[in-house]
């Protein structure tokens, strides 16, 4: 993140532990394949919830179906959790995790 | 008669008495399941409320706690709408989407209970199979949801094997 006013790099002593960078890492939302939800339904949910065009929604649906999972959205923790809740309310099996 | 037809932003319903009876019964059973004291002990109910974090039960629990009763209330509201409007000849889009949500939940519950697979066919649930009737209902619900998606003009990437072209008879 840049504020645009710092001229020289500031030396910062790093605290021990890896939690320092946690807020900067985006979270990803994953939809997992399941034997029940219809392919048509999954495509429709992606279009409706995320406003994705048909091509993108279908590509994600096929990834879920053939590869077993697909990353369908990403962003800050709050957004990722909200997306997971919306996918759950539509019956999709979704989880979130930190991007690696 | 087509089960659902879109007309001027509304949805015309063409369900038979047997179909409405079946849906009424599924509403009742699902509400009982959702309102049971400890629904999470039932794996099919648990399928409706998946963990948000794959390998982090504590964080999943926190996520669940933050949402409170909202997820369950949403599903109960869809069931209430379906029950209340089952006799209607026409539905608003909002009501129609609630119908589809409820029907999808019925399929998730039933499919999980009979341990459905992607390749399942009638041969896996013969007449003498204990889940034969449940599978017939599942096939009917699959067909019904497919028709709902058609009425919504959802894109059709491919056809699924379960739920053929002919209207299956609800038991």
**Chain centroid, CA A82 distance in Å:** 10
Residue with tokens 């199979």: B129
* Per-residue model confidence (pLDDT) at position A15: 52
Chain B residues close to A41, C-beta within 8 Å: 104, 145, 149, 154
* A50 and chain B in contact, CB less than 8 A: no
Q: Give B21's contacts (C-beta < 8 A, 6+ positions apart).
A: B170
* Per-residue model confidence (pLDDT) at position B41: 77
Answer for the pair B171, B137: CB distance below 8 angstroms, yes or no: yes
Does the beta-carbon distance from A90 to B142 stay under 8 Å?
Answer: no
* Per-residue model confidence (pLDDT) at position A5: 43
Q: Give the number of other Cβ atoms within 10 Å of residue A47's Cβ.
A: 19
Does the beta-carbon distance from B154 to A44 stay under 8 Å?
Answer: yes
Backbone angles phi, psi at A83, to 5 degrees: -65, -40
Q: What tens-digit pLDDT sequence spans chain B (171 residues)?
A: 789 999 999 999 999 999 999 999 999 999 999 998 676 678 899 999 999 999 999 999 999 999 999 999 999 999 999 999 999 999 999 999 999 999 999 999 999 999 999 889 999 999 999 999 999 999 999 999 999 999 998 888 654 434 444 566 664
* Per-residue model confidence (pLDDT) at position B163: 40
Q: Where are the alpha helices (DSSP H) in B36-131?
A: 43-46, 57-67, 70-84, 93-113
d(CA B149, CA A40): 7
Tell me which residue of B52, B159, B148 sits closest to B95, measured CA to CA: B148
d(CA B141, CA B26): 11
d(CA B3, CA B142): 13
How confident is the model over A43-75, as pLDDT tens digits? 999 999 999 999 999 999 999 999 999 999 999
For the full predicted model, state whether its pTM sits above 0.90.
no
* Per-residue model confidence (pLDDT) at position B158: 55
* Per-residue model confidence (pLDDT) at position A13: 55
* Per-residue model confidence (pLDDT) at position A10: 52
Does the beta-carbon distance from A89 to B71 stay under 8 Å?
Answer: yes
**Chain centroid, CA B93 distance in Å:** 17
Does the beta-carbon distance from A95 to B52 stay under 8 Å?
Answer: yes
d(CA B138, CA B108): 9
Q: DSSP letter at A20?
A: G
* A98 and chain B in contact, CB less than 8 A: no
* B145 and chain A in contact, CB less than 8 A: yes
* Segment 42-71 of chain B within 8 Å of chain A by CB: 47-54, 63, 67, 70-71
d(CA A75, CA A24): 10
Does the beta-carbon distance from A40 to B111 stay under 8 Å?
Answer: no
Answer for the pair A95, A32: CB distance below 8 angstroms, yes or no: yes
Chain B residues close to A73, C-beta within 8 Å: none
Does the beta-carbon distance from B111 to A35 stay under 8 Å?
Answer: yes
**Closest chain B residue to A86, measured at CA:** B71
* Per-residue model confidence (pLDDT) at position A100: 82
* B16 and chain A in contact, CB less than 8 A: no
* B154 and chain A in contact, CB less than 8 A: yes
**Closest chain B residue to A29, measured at CA:** B52
- ipTM rounded to 2 decimals: 0.89
Mean pLDDT of A31-38: 97
Q: Give B3's contacts (C-beta < 8 A, 6+ positions apart).
A: B13, B14, B15, B19, B144, B147, B148, B167
Answer for the pair B106, B26: CB distance below 8 angstroms, yes or no: yes
Check pLDDT > 60 for residue A3: no
Chain A residues close to B70, C-beta within 8 Å: 85
Lowest mean pLDDT among A79-83, A89-93, B14-18, B156-160: B156-160
* B142 and chain A in contact, CB less than 8 A: yes
Does the beta-carbon distance from B49 to A57 stay under 8 Å?
Answer: no
């Amino acid at each position: 993140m840049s504020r645009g006013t710092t001229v020289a790099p500031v030396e910062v002593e790093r605290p021990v532990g890896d939690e320092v960078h946690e807020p900067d890492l985006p979270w990803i939302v994953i939809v997992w394949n399941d034997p029940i939800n219809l392919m048509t339904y999954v495509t429709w949910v992606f279009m409706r919830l995320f406003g994705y065009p048909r091509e993108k929604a279908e590509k994600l649906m096929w990834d879920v179906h053939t590869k077993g999972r697909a990353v369908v959205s990403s962003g800050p923790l709050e957004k990722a959790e909200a997306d997971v809740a919306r996918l759950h309310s539509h019956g999709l099996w979704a989880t979130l995790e930190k991007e690696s | 008669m087509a089960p659902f037809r879109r007309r001027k932003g509304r949805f015309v319903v063409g369900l038979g008495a047997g179909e409405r009876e079946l849906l009424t019964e599924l509403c009742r059973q699902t509400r009982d399941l959702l309102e049971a004291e400890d629904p999470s002990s039932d794996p099919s109910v648990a399928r409706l409320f998946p963990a948000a974090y794959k390998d982090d039960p504590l964080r999943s629990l926190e996520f669940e706690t933050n949402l409170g009763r909202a997820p369950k209330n949403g599903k109960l509201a869809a069931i209430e709408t379906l029950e209340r409007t089952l006799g209607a000849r026409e539905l608003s889009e909002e009501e129609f989407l609630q119908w589809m949500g409820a029907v999808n939940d019925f399929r998730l519950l039933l499919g999980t209970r009979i341990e459905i697979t992607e390749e399942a066919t009638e041969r896996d649930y013969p007449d003498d199979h204990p889940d034969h009737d449940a599978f017939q209902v599942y096939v009917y619900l699959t067909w019904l949801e497919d028709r709902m998606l058609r009425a919504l003009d959802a894109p059709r990437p491919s056809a699924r094997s379960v739920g053929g072209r002919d209207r299956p008879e609800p038991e």
